[in-house]
Amino acid sequence: MSNKTNKIDEIGAAVLEDENSVDILVLKLSKPVMHDGEPLEELTFDFGKLTGADSIKVETELERMGVIVLVPHLNGPYLCRIAVKACTTKIDMGVLQRMPILDYSQVRKATRSFLAKRA
């Protein structure tokens, strides 16, 4: 049986941690965001599914855009693109850009926290 703990942070997002240190952020959006003609009311981010290849792809994409990533867990564009890859719903950067700022900030914070505690 999985030993999961559910933590609720200050704005109501649930962060799940299990014995394998696979962190999952379940974020109920404060306002629905439209994506592919459908309103998104909740998003789940499974940071444990990410691999080194995901990081390399994001860094390469940013380098092509002229963005240099010196410290990934402190770089906003890197964090956002990693969060998009961690999302269990297929989303793009536009979804994050259309989110209310508090929801957007929560996604960035959770991504940064996940990467920083493993750095």
Over the stretch 90-103, which tens digit does the pLDDT of each residue have? Answer: 999 999 999 999 99
Percent of the chain with pLDDT over 70: 80
- 29 contacts 95 by C-beta, under 8 angstroms: no
Residues 99, 4: Cα–Cα separation, whole Å:
28
- 85 contacts 59 by C-beta, under 8 angstroms: no
pLDDT at 10 over 80: no
pTM, full prediction: 0.81
Q: What is the CA radius of gyration of the chain?
A: 14
Residues 101, 67: Cα–Cα separation, whole Å:
22
| Phi and psi torsions of 66, nearest 5° | 85, 15
* All structural domains of the chain with their residue ranges: 5-116
